[in-house]
Each structure stands twice: as C-alpha cells, then as structure tokens.
Amino acid sequence: MLALFQQISAWSIPVFLLFILVYAFFRGVKVYETFIKGAEEGFNIAVRIIPYLVAMMIAVSIFRQSGMLDLLGSICNPILKIVGIPVEVIPLALMRPFSGGGALGIAAELINNYGPDSIIGRLASTMQGSTDTTFFVLTVYFGSVGIRKYRYSLAVGLLADLTTFFASVYIVNRMFSI
Amino acid sequence: MINIVWLLMIVSGIALASLQGKPEIITQSAFGSAQAAVKYSLELVGIMSFWLGMMRIAEEAGLVRALARGLKPLTKFLFPSIPAQHPAMGAILMNLSANILGLGNAATPFGLKAMQELQSINSDKETASAAMCTFLALNTACITLMPTMIIAIRLSAGSANPTEIVSTTLFATAVGMSVAILADNILRKVYGRRL
C-alpha cells in the first residue's frame, strides 16, 4: 500500500506532463509557443495578489504573535473537554484556517511528540490533511481579480472548517480507539 | 464581514501585546509579515508560469473541454450561472482535480486562472459573484484523496502505517465538502440570485 502510494505520487506529475504534451503535439498544437503564451500571465497574476496578501498576513501575524490565538485556544479548552475532544489539537484547529505553514508546524510537532500512531497523532494528521487555509485562499483568489466584497464566502469557509474538524474527531475516535 | 474580522484581529492583537507590555511584538510581526507576503508572491511567479503554460497547451489540445464535457451534469448543478462552454469551467475542474489529487502547487495557478475567467462574466467587478462563492466553498473544503505532505511527515516520524489516515481524511473532507455545498446553496438564495 505504502510502496504503491509512493510510486503514484512520484509518477503522477511526469506522466501527466508527458500525456498533455504528446497528446497536444499529435493534435497539431504548437507546444512551445503555446506554453509561452500561457506562462506570460503568471507574472501578472502573482504580482496582483501582493497588496491583498500583505494585508492578510499582517493581521494573521499580529493575531498570532501577540498571543491572541493561544488565548482563544485556552478559552475553548474547558468546553471541548466536556465533549471529549483532546485539548492538544485545539491550537492546530485554530491555526488551520489562517496559516498553512503554521498549521503544518503544529501538526508535525504533535505527530513527533505523541507519535504518528497515537490518537492525537492520527487526529492531527487527519485534520491537517482535510482542510485548507480558508483565509489565505480567499485573500489570494479574490485578490487576484480585485474583488473586495467577499459576501458569504468567509462564513461558508469557516463553517466547513468547523465541520471538518468535528468530522475528523468523530472518525478518528471511531476507527482507532477501543 | 472581512472588514470586521481584519480589524478585530489587529486591534485585539495590539491590545493583548500592550497588556503584556510588549509593543515591539506588533511592530516586528507587521513589518516581517509584509515582507514575507511579497516574498511568497514572487516565489509564486515561477510555478504559476509553469502550470499556466501547461494548462494553455491542454486547452488548445481540447483536453480541458473534454474534461468539462465529461463532468457536465455535476457542474451544471453546482454552477448554474456559468455557460457550459465557458473556459471558466475548465479551469475550475483543473483546480479541483489538483486539489483532490494533492497536487498543491498546481491547484493555485489553475484556481487563479478560474477566478479570472469568472471575473470576466461577473457583473459587479468589486463584489464576489455566486459562482465565485461556490468555487471557493468547494476549494477551501475539497475532498482529498492523497494528503501527500502529511503522509511524508508520518513516514519520517516512523509510523507503522503512514497511509492509514487516508480513509479518515477522505471521510472528514467528504463531510466538510457536503456541508460547504449545502451552506453555499442556502446562502446563495438568502443573498439573492445574481451572477
């Protein structure tokens, strides 16, 4: 299973590239020139997201470095303890929507400290693999086309994060405990 | 909503840092993160250019359209406001495929391309369209078949079975995605139908 998985992830990109290029070539596409035309847009899009990214990363960084995120976590702890959610994973759940790198750091630390095959290690793995960095995605995606009014997007994204968190706790307890 | 969230994050952070008597934390993190943001954007240029180039080839070869045609029943349900043959559909599908397969660095370029296409059929250029909201709901809560990064971490931490979390991740993401689609559908109606 593991060997198969590693083979699949190692081969997926090369096979994908080979397929597109060879198929396009036989369909009469001028592959090199077409690639250049598409790649030209890359720079503009990347540069256009800068102001949005700066705004979001400043807020996330201040929120995190000042200790607000940890404070929020310690407020949540007593409530979640009653429901049976291990408090160790709360910082991960709170960090996940804001910062992919930050969350990955916490997840890696939990996995290494408690062991990858402990309940906390498995829960951290599932949580990290399940959701995306909602704030980051909204900022970058909307920013790239100059949208400033997000309407209900943020609410939907955060609701989904919360649901995924509870679903992770449920399924990990169900599959691995006893 | 984003105005309030943004304001609260900064104001509460400043308040807490002040209470601890450490105002320098705020200054450092503000300047540091501003620079990190620019660095990230510039690093994105290479990978963006690469995937957008490949995507253009796939488009011209008709592969993207074939993908869109194959999944038409599904996309018609999710994105009623996008015309069937519109290039936005192809980019959206490429992005979701990349997400599902855990090809993280391909997902962003396809996603940003999809946003551009969606913006071209958006009537109010400063406000998110219904299709954009649906797309981002799917994007932030996407089913994941292969959480590649976390499996690598588990492997290096000496797990007896690094891939055992694939099924739990699949379950959690499927639940999350269903809720996201449902919530998006309800809120779309609450906020009124617009493109």
Distance CA B139, CA B126 (A): 20
How far is A70 from A55, CA to CA, in rounded Å? Answer: 22
Q: What local confidence, expressed as pLDDT, does residue B15 receive?
A: 94
The rounded Cα A167 to chain-centroid distance in angstroms is 16
**pLDDT at B115 (0 to 100):** 94
Task: Please state, in angstroms and rounded to a whole number, the distance separating the CA atoms of residues B42 and A44.
Answer: 10
CA nearest neighbour of B113 among B193, B48, B178, B169: B48
pLDDT tens string, chain B, 195 residues long: the values are 678 888 999 999 999 999 999 899 999 999 999 998 898 888 888 888 998 899 889 889 988 888 888 888 888 888 988 887 888 988 899 898 888 877 767 888 899 999 999 999 998 999 999 999 999 999 888 888 778 778 888 888 888 888 888 889 999 999 999 999 999 999 988 887 554
Residues of chain A with pLDDT > 70: what percent?
96
pLDDT score of A178 more than 60: no
Phi/psi at A131 (5° precision): -115, 165
As a whole number, the mean pLDDT across chain A is: 86
Rounded to the nearest angstrom, the minimum Cα separation between B122 and chain A is 10
Q: What is the pLDDT of residues B68-97, one digit of tens each?
A: 888 888 888 889 888 878 889 888 998 988
Residue A1: pLDDT band (50, 70, 90) is low
Interface membership of B100 toward A (CB under 8 Å): no
Query: Looking at residues A49-76, what average pLDDT do you find?
Result: 87
Domain boundaries along the sequence of chain B: 1-45, 62-190
* Mean pLDDT across A79-107: 83
Rounded to a whole number, what is the distance in Å from the CA of B73 to chain A's nearest CA? Answer: 24
DSSP for B9-32, written as a single string: HHHHHHHHHHHTT-HHHHHHHHHH
pLDDT of residue A49: 84
* DSSP H helices in A84-152: 90-95, 100-114, 119-130, 134-144
pLDDT at residue B17, as a whole number: 94
Mean pLDDT score, A125-136? 86
The pLDDT score that the predictor gives to residue B104 is: 66
Rounded to whole angstroms, how far apart are CA atoms B183 and A79?
A: 25
What is the per-residue pLDDT for B190? Answer: 86
Contact residues on chain A for B108, CB-CB shorter than 8 A: 140
Domain-by-domain residue ranges, chain A? 1-48, 49-176
CA gap A143, B119 in Å, rounded: 11
B111 and A161 in contact by Cβ < 8 A?
A: no
User: B156 vs chain A: nearest CA distance in angstroms?
Assistant: 9
Q: Which residues of B touch A160 (CB under 8 A)?
A: 137, 140-141, 176-177, 179-180, 183
Chain B, window 55-84: residues with a beta carbon less than 8 angstroms from a chain A beta carbon:
55-63
Q: What is the pLDDT of residue A113?
A: 87
Interface test with B, best of A58, A85, A117, A168 (most B CBs within 10 A): A58
Residues of chain A in contact with residue B117, where contact means CB-CB under 8 angstroms, are none
Q: Specify the pLDDT at position A9.
A: 66
* Lowest-pLDDT range of A5-9, A126-130, B132-136: A5-9
Q: Chain A partners of B56 at a C-beta cutoff of 8 Å?
A: 34-35, 37-39
Average pLDDT over residues A142-160: 91
